[in-house]
Amino acid sequence: MKTGRQWIVACFLLVSSYAVFAEVIVPNVIGDPYEENREYLTIEGFKVYVLPVQQYSWRGYTLEEREDERLRAIRKVTAQLKVAVSLLPPDPINELRTRVILYMDDTCEYGDAKETGKTFKTGKVFYTPIASKDDSDRKLGQVTIRCYSAFVHEYPYKGIVLHELAHAWHDLFLPNGFENYKIKTQYEWSKECLHRQHKPYWKTNAGEFCAEMSCAYFFRSKDVPHTDMSMSEKNKALVSAAWQDPPNLDEFEPATGGCSDESQVTLNEGEEVIERKRSHIAAH
């Protein structure tokens, strides 16, 4: 049984730690987070900023319809955060809650149509590091979700938020962040040796490799290897070690040299080349 004094100390710690966190986070929001229509939510322990819909007509939707899409986007983020929180290891999730915010806005059209010769981009989900405003070296991260209608209708994959949180873990918690040597080395080998008949998204770079392997290991990926059942043993070991808290990559030895027998491990998925459905929507 706690004494009264212990309760006071506990409450003080709780309030002060929240105040420190709020101080770090709030300056990164443009404008007043409490202004009308702007929501400042805590979902599954993550801070989520939700901006109002943009005040112009878009694709013929009325303001009311777009407001409805905004609420649906919040529900979708909530569902995806539940997936991530229930599947990723609990200690890293707790760490990510203190260093990552989610930011949702209704930027539905951007880019230069003449330059690309195509239509404007209409939505985007991506991770970016943000500088801490408290003069410390502590980096923070932000997952941005743009354009409520696009997010609601054009992103069927249920692991988008998990994928973005994996980028955050890679950047903020692994030694040297995105430059982590062991991830890069294992990526180079995997790109060369695994799924040679496929062009999965993770072959883009070491960052996408780490994020997609995390999705496959803890949930499922859109591309091969879809689940941990078809991952190489090395990559399973890598993901498992990377998601320790703190990450424990010291004993992980990346595969090097030529492609070994292990590169054959996934051939049982068949010869079919799964063409990813490429769209103008970018999720990174």
Residues of this chain that interact with Zn ion (CB under 5 A) are 208, 211, 284
The one-letter amino acid at 170: H
CB of residue 223 vs Zn ion: minimum separation in angstroms? 12
Give the largest Cα separation in the chain, rounded: 70
CA nearest neighbour of 274 among 173, 213, 199, 163 = 199
Distance CA 253, CA 249 (A): 8
Q: Judge whether 50 and 72 are in contact, CB under 8 Å.
A: no
Shortest CB 5 distance to Zn ion, Å: 48
The minimum distance between CB 121 and Zn ion, in angstroms, equals 16
* DSSP-derived 3-state class of residue 274: coil
C-alpha to C-alpha distance for 146 and 122, rounded to whole angstroms = 8
DSSP codes, 45-99? TEEEEEPPPPSS-BTTB-HHHHHHHHHHHHHHHHHHHHHHHHHS-HHHHHHHHHH
Nearer to Zn ion, 168 or 211 (CB): 211
Min dist. Cβ of residue 128 to Zn ion (A):
11
What residue number has its CB nearest to Zn ion?
A: 284
Measured from the CB atom, the residue of 88 and 211 that comes closer to Zn ion is 211
Rounded to a whole number of angstroms, the distance between the first and last alpha carbons of the chain is 49
Q: Smallest gap, in angstroms, from Cβ of residue 58 to Zn ion?
A: 26
Task: Pick the closer one to Zn ion by CB: 40 or 201.
Answer: 201
Q: Which of 24/160 has CB closer to Zn ion?
A: 160
User: Based on CB atoms, which residue is closest to Zn ion, 105 or 212?
Assistant: 212
In whole angstroms, the minimum distance from the beta carbon of 168 to Zn ion comes to: 11
Alpha-carbon distance of 16 to 276, in angstroms, equals 47
Q: How far is residue 38 from each of residues 23, 25, 54, 105, 122, measured CA to CA in Å?
A: 18, 15, 12, 10, 21
Q: Which is nearer to Zn ion, 70 or 124 (CB)?
A: 124
